[in-house]
Structure 1
Amino acid sequence: MVPLYRSMMSKPKFVVWPQVVLFGDSITQFSFQVNGWGAEIANKLARKCDVVNRGLSGYNSRWAKMILPRLIDCQNSAADSNKIAAVTVFFGANDSSLEDINPQQHVPLQEYSENMKEITSLLTSAGVSADRVIFITPPPLHEPAWEKECILKGSPLNRHNSVAGQYAQACVQAAGQCGADVLDLWTLMQKDGQDYSVYLSDGLHLSDKGNQFLAQHLWGLLESRVAALPFILPYWGDIDTKSPESSLLCDQ
């Protein structure tokens, strides 16, 4: 016997959640940890959007450019474009490693800039327009704390804050050239000479306060891009209890 709701209506449409994709290195990969910035964004977008973590610890922009077509179909502009509301692109902390000490992760400044622009082009080819892309610059580096981490691993200090600043500036410039938005963490965290070390857990990665700082400022850029997204599936109090299928199986 065919269930009553099947006889009353056509097969309901599959529910597709829009996505915000977080693409970056370890600072993105760790963003879903307790008090992480990605988790905070995901909480704000519950029932409206999936926040997808595509953070790859240790990666630089050179490797990111290569791997992006395996994460988003850059050959089929119709595949993901309608469901991707925004993409954050957060590289530079590894690219800015000192070449003579950490050549494995280092990417020259000019190449880094070109890679960031090419990542935007790849996203555009997948139907994700530049106005849905948000670059995030590397945060400042607290050299005394990071040097301790390096020494524990048998290495001298392999990054400098001034060099991270050069990559942050290149990121801002690349975003402007691409028509993408940008969150300049390096500048914001040091604004007015504040003690930016409180935003970092080990001199490089974010502390709880740093995660909160990033989530707050990123939300300011994301909110306009997701404001029009509807609440997915009815609020429980709006479901017709006498005929729930009329509420739950109708197309939104």
Structure 2
Amino acid sequence: MVGPGRPQIVLFGSSIVQYSFSDNGWGSTLANIYSRTADIILRGYAGWNSRFALKVLDKVFPKNAVIQPSLVIVYFGGNDSMNPHPSGHGPHVPLTEFIDNMRKIGEHLLSLSDKTRVIFLTPPPMNERQIERVFGDAMSGRSNELCRPYVEALLNLCREINVKGIDLWTAIQQEDDWLNICFTDGIHFTAKASEIVVKEILKAVREADWKPSLYWKSLPVEFPFDFDVPNSISLCDLNLTRNKQLESQPGTARL
């Protein structure tokens, strides 16, 4: 491996995760923010549901690994909540099975080490008209009505198994004109939606009672910024302020 060793933050999920490093996505933004403090590792699989995730869980997160992740951020549910296909095939997973799968995923990740933390992201809302325009009948089984019960059940599970849950369903809908500015195709995120996701993740990590803290400002910076070489601008100050737009302002609800 490349050294020195850093905390590992793994993003695990379906296309919302796989595409998170493109077009100013939330994964690439996290990698930028944690660039001197932790490694952001991508394990995203477009089209997958929680049933598929269980099949590879031991391979992606083996319990005998020498180094275990410090944080795993998990997203499944959007594909699971699609209407069952008449053929019996397709990504749909019944709600009760989805919650059972997510419980098993959460419990497995928490068992990796006593320092491994877990965050579940809920499915976000979607722009149904945009989906129809972009995909036609290919995505006709998606709707906010079908998805919402999966959001509510997942948040209840998070409280039950003591996993942090981030309610993207609500966070995105708090944005003005969210239907028109948050999706590239009705499902996947624009840069604006990814910004919301990053703010919610940073807020959750900052407020978590985790020891050690995994908030980016609390982690040790790898190597000195300048090795005492004089600079016209402080590289340390520059690093602390370059993501200022993601910091909370007094009186705001989100980080």
The normalised TM-score by structure 2 is 0.79
Which residue of structure 2 lines up, in the alignment, with residue 165 of structure 1? Answer: 148
Give 1:122's match in structure 2, choosing from 105, 108, 116: 108
Please, what is the CA RMSD of the aligned residues? 2.0
**CA positional deviation for 1:80:** 2.7
**CA positional deviation for 1:234:** 2.5
Contact 1:86–1:222, Cα closer than 8 Å, also in 2: no
User: Higher Cα Rg: structure 1 or 2?
Assistant: 1
Contact 1:80–1:127, Cα closer than 8 Å, also in 2: no
Which residue of structure 1 lines up, in the alignment, with residue 224 of structure 2? Answer: 234
Identical positions, percent: 34
Which residue of structure 2 lines up, in the alignment, with residue 144 of structure 1? Answer: 129
Give unpaired runs (5+ residues) of structure 2: 208-212, 230-255
Contact 1:150–1:158, Cα closer than 8 Å, also in 2: no
The normalised TM-score by structure 1 is 0.80
| Structure 2 Cα separation of the partners of residues 156 and 135 of structure 1 | 24
**Structure 2 counterpart of 1:187, one-letter code:** T
Give unpaired runs (5+ residues) of structure 1: 1-13, 240-252
Which residue of structure 2 lines up, in the alignment, with residue 247 of structure 1? Answer: none
Which residue of structure 1 lines up, in the alignment, with residue 193 of structure 2? Answer: 210
Are 1:64 and 2:53 counterparts? Answer: yes
Aligned structure 1 segments of 4 or more residues deviating by more than 6 angstroms:
none
| Structure 1 Cα separation of the partners of residues 6 and 101 of structure 2 | 29
Contact 1:29–1:53, Cα closer than 8 Å, also in 2: yes
Segment drifting more, 155-164 vs 132-141? 155-164
| Structure 1 Cα separation of the partners of residues 37 and 56 of structure 2 | 28
**Structure 1 counterpart of 2:153, one-letter code:** A
Which residue of structure 1 lines up, in the alignment, with residue 90 of structure 2? Answer: 104
Contact 1:29–1:56, Cα closer than 8 Å, also in 2: yes
Matched ranges for 1:1-252 at <5 A: 15-74=4-63, 76=64, 79-81=66-68, 84-100=69-85, 103-127=89-113, 132-151=117-136, 154-155=137-138, 157-191=140-174, 194-197=176-179, 198-223=181-206, 225-227=213-215, 228-238=218-228
**CA positional deviation for 1:62:** 0.7
Task: Report the count of equivalent residues.
Answer: 218
| Structure 1 Cα separation of the partners of residues 133 and 29 of structure 2 | 30
Relative to 1, partners in 2 of residues 1:40 and 1:29: Cα closer, same or farther, differing over 3 Å? same
